[in-house]
Structures are given as structure tokens and as C-alpha cells.
């Protein structure tokens, strides 16, 4: 494994797996360019050190070539941020891609078309009949795995070295994120996004300054159980917010009105409480909540205890008094991890709790607390409020971040760190 800062890119073609899966509106304009901006330092490093670039990514979930998911739509944004013009190969497996990569000169940049236009990128058979037999499914799977080998080999043939800078897909054993690395046993490395993500998460999991507090939000206990239990080994405090709170409350006999609840997970919720106690983790979840008489932004609201919600009403956000309790915990912490909203963040009327958490984290970061934010709406909250650069690290990893926190080996990381 090489280090991007020490590698000699002079005269070499670097094929870089980035995550440019950015949201586009109906006019194909990028509505959030965070992922492109994040990859620019890696791309510029290669060019500054005398190399050329072959950029590869996916966009969306196409089932084949389609204009809607073409990477050509994001070329202007990449050119503007990278400060140079791009060559474009409209077929990542085509003759033009091979020819353009072979003739790349130092300082030049080639963008390959969407990798997922080919089923081989993910290694999953497409267009199987709904009534396909098990034998047919098995044969199709074997065929795609075989053709995936050629797909990967051809991608690798374009370059002299390989950089994986797509943490968001590091949990997938795809051709471009994992399999390709074997063709560069002595010339593979992480980009700055990957390095930064790994270092930030490891700082929480492996070398945290204590006390450590995790804020875990979201709708369902079932989707966060593994990360909650894993973090019990690391945390001194855990704050649980969002819809999952009401499963805990109902499991202990509380009245939750129409609030979201996973009735089949109540035993699990009770076991989590026992595990926290056994591990010596201080658990914070119960308190006052903002409730509404309908799941709507303009609903009537009031504040009440989360274990005494009137019939017909549902919990929508953490109340100011609850946030105040959490704030004291956060201000007495040295390391904070935040994953998931503490209210119905997509509705402005019920985003106040989540936004206040973002404000608190920005403030304590300025006072020396290490703060890691990752996962959907929590990232959206710090970004929308202009705090993305005021916390220690914002992870764009999504599912990859969760799996890494859960202790699962990610194929995209293992492919780089393994020998050969």
C-alpha cells in the first residue's frame, strides 16, 4: 500500500474511483456538490505531481445506458472546480476509452462514462425473467461474475496506478471499488477522502479522548441496533433521539399516542437498556417532546412528556428542555459522534431539535471537542446551517460509515490495505 503524499506520479496515469453520485434536478443541475468538492484535493495532487487522471464513478442506479444518469451532465462542475478541461469517454469499455487513456499526457484528465451502465460493475445479473428458475439464476450469476473479471481487467489496463477515494461505496465489493486493486499490487492507495474518513472514525472508535458521547437518531431501532451495541464498547454517554425513542418508551409502559413504534422490537429495546447499564453507559432518551395532532408541517403542536402523549397525537421532535439536558452532556464531552436526526427534520416545524444539535456541535468544536457528523439528515443539518466547516469532520459515507462503525470489514478498504 502506497501513500498519496509520498507516491511519485510523474508521467503516470492514475485511475481514481471517486463518488460523484450527486443529486441532479430536472435540468441536470447539481443541487449538492459536496462529493465533487471533497474529491478535488486528491485529483489536484496527482496533476500537481506530474501525473494524468482517469476519473471513474457511478451516478444513480441505472439498469443500462441512459441519458438521465450520464456523467456528461456533471462535466462543467468538475472542470470548474478542478480548473482544467476534461476529455470524456462516452463508454467506459469502448475503444475510445482505451485510446484516450493510452494517449493521456501529464496534466490531462479523462472522465469515463457511468460505470453502472454495465452490470459488471456491481456484478449482479440483470434482466432475469421474474419466473426464472434457480438453475437459470445460478447460471446468470456465474456468467456475470466471469464477465466482471474482463470488465475489471480492462479498467485496470487504462492506468499505471489506482486510487480509491470513494468512501461512500467502500462497503461494496464492486469492480471499481475493490476487485481492480489486485492489478496494482505495488501501486494502490487511498485518496484524501478515504484517508480522512478512516482517520476520523478511528479517532472515535480506537483512540478517543474521553468522555465520548454518541448521538444516535432516526426512526427505527431495528436499523440502528448493531451500531448502538457496538458503540456501547466505546461510549461513556449515548443520546437516543428521533422516532426510535417511542419504542423504548412504550416498552416500559409509557403512553405514546400515535407515535412511531416498532412493537416487534420492544423486547430488543429493553435488552438495549440492560446492556447500557451493564456496560456503564449513561443513556439519555426520555424527556419532553414536541407532539402534533397530525404528521404535517402545519399541524397543531404542544409539549408533553414522551411517556404521556395524548391519544391521537404523535411525537415529532425533541423539546427545548430535553435538548438542554443533552447540551450539558455534550459540553462535558471530549469526543462526539452524531448519526441521525432527533426529530422529523424534513419538516421545518420539527427540525428545531436537530438544528440545535448542529449549533451545539459547532460551538463545542471551537472549544476543542472532536466532533464527527455522519449520516443523511445530520449531515444535511450541519450543511444547511453553514456549520459543515465548523465541526471536526463530516462523513459522506452513509452506509459505509455505519458498517465501519459496526466493525464490519469494508471491501474497498481491505483491497487497498491487503498485500498484493
- Determine the pLDDT at residue 420: 66
Strand pairing report for 288-292 and 282-284 = unpaired
- Give how many domains the chain has, as a whole number: 2
Are 183 and 70 found together in one domain?
yes
| pLDDT above 70: residue 377 | yes
Q: 180 and 206: one domain?
A: no
> Residue 399 catalytic?
yes
Higher pLDDT, 367 or 285: 367
User: E-assigned strands of 267-353?
Assistant: 282-284, 288-292, 301-305, 308-309, 314-318, 335-339
Decide if 191 is catalytic: no
Q: What is the number of other CB atoms lying within 10 angstroms of the CB of residue 302?
A: 13
pLDDT at position 53 is 98
Last residue of a domain, one of 156, 190, 224: 190
The residue annotated as part of the active site, out of 35, 188, 352, 356, is 35
- Residue 407's pLDDT band, with cuts at 50, 70 and 90, is confident
Statement to judge: residues 174 and 219 lie in one domain? no
Average pLDDT (329-346) is: 95
Q: Is residue 172 located within the same domain as residue 293?
A: no
Active site residue 35: yes
For residue 130, the model assigns a pLDDT of 86
Residues 6+ apart with CB under 8 A from 409: none
63, part of any domain: yes
Q: Which of 130, 156, 190 is the last residue of a domain?
A: 190
- 302 catalytic residue (yes or no): no
- Whether 218 is in a domain gets the answer yes
More confident residue, 219 or 280: 280
Domain extent, residue 177, equals: 13-190
The values of phi and psi at residue 393, to 5°, are -155, 135
Q: Please give the C-alpha separations between residue 410 and each of 121, 150, 171, 301, in angstroms, as whole numbers.
A: 17, 23, 5, 44
Inside any domain, residue 177: yes
Spot the catalytic one: 60, 254, 376, 398: 376
Q: What is the CATH number of the domain that holds 66?
A: 3.40.50.1260
Confidence of residue 363 (pLDDT cuts 50, 70, 90): very high
Average pLDDT of span 41-70? 97
Candidate list 72, 220, 230, 334, residue with the active-site label: 220
Are 99 and 235 in a shared domain?
A: no
Give the pTM: 0.86
| 70: pLDDT strictly greater than 80 | yes
Q: What pLDDT does residue 34 have? A: 84
Could you tell me if 329 and 284 lie in one domain? yes
385 has a pLDDT exceeding 90: no
Over range 155-159, report the average pLDDT: 98
Flag whether 6 is in a domain: no
Model confidence at 348, pLDDT cuts 50, 70, 90, reads very high
Q: How confident is the model at residue 2 (pLDDT cuts 50, 70, 90)?
A: very high
Amino acid at each position: 500500500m502506497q501513500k498519496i503524499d509520498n507516491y511519485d506520479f510523474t508521467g503516470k496515469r492514475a485511475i481514481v474511483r471517486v463518488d460523484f453520485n450527486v443529486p441532479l434536478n430536472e435540468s441536470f443541475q447539481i443541487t449538492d456538490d459536496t462529493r465533487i468538492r471533497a474529491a478535488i484535493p486528491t485529483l489536484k495532487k496527482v496533476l500537481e505531481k506530474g501525473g494524468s487522471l482517469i476519473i471513474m464513478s457511478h451516478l444513480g442506479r441505472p439498469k443500462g445506458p441512459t441519458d438521465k444518469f450520464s456523467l456528461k451532465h456533471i462535466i462543467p462542475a468538475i472542470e470548474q472546480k478542478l480548473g482544467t478541461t476534461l476529455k470524456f469517454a462516452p463508454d467506459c469499455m469502448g475503444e475510445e476509452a482505451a485510446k484516450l487513456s493510452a494517449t493521456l499526457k501529464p496534466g490531462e484528465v479523462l472522465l469515463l462514462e457511468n460505470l453502472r451502465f454495465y452490470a459488471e460493475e456491481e456484478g449482479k445479473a440483470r434482466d432475469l425473467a421474474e419466473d426464472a428458475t434457480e438453475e437459470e439464476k445460478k447460471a446468470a450469476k456465474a456468467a456475470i461474475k466471469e464477465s466482471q473479471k474482463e470488465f475489471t481487467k480492462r479498467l485496470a489496463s487504462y492506468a499505471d496506478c489506482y486510487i480509491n477515494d470513494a468512501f461512500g461505496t467502500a462497503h461494496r465489493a464492486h469492480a471499481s471499488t475493490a476487485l481492480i486493486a489486485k492489478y496494482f499490487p505495488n501501486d494502490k492507495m487511498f485518496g484524501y477522502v478515504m484517508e480522512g474518513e478512516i482517520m476520523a472514525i478511528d479517532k472515535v472508535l480506537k483512540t478517543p479522548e474521553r468522555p465520548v458521547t454518541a448521538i444516535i437518531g432516526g426512526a427505527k431501532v431495528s436499523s440502528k441496533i448493531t451500531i448502538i451495541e457496538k458503540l456501547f464498547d466505546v461510549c461513556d454517554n449515548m443520546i437516543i433521539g428521533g422516532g426510535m425513542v417511542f419504542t423504548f418508551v412504550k416498552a416500559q409502559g409509557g403512553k405514546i399516542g400515535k407515535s412511531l413504534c416498532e412493537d416487534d422490537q420492544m423486547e430488543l429495546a429493553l435488552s438495549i437498556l440492560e446492556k447500557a447499564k451493564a456496560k456503564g453507559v449513561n443513556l439519555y432518551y426520555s424527556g419532553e417532546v414536541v407532539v402534533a395532532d397530525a404528521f404535517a408541517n402545519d399541524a397543531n403542536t404542544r409539549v408533553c412528556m414522551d411517556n404521556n402523549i395524548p391519544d391521537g397525537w404523535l411525537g415529532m421532535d425533541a423539546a427545548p428542555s430535553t435538548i438542554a439536558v443533552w447540551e450539558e452532556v455534550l459540553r462535558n464531552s471530549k469526543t462526539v459522534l452524531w448519526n441521525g436526526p432527533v426529530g422529523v427534520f424534513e419538516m421545518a416545524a420539527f427540525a428545531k431539535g436537530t438544528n440545535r444539535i448542529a449549533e451545539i456541535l459547532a460551538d463545542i468544536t471551537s472549544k476543542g471537542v472532536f466532533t464527527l457528523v455522519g449520516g443523511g439528515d445530520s449531515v444535511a443539518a450541519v450543511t444547511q446551517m453553514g456549520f459543515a466547516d465548523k465541526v471536526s469532520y463530516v462523513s459522506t459515507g452513509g452506509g459505509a460509515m455505519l458498517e465501519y462503525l459496526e466493525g464490519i470489514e469494508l471491501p474497498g478498504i481491505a483491497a487497498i490495505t491487503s498485500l498484493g
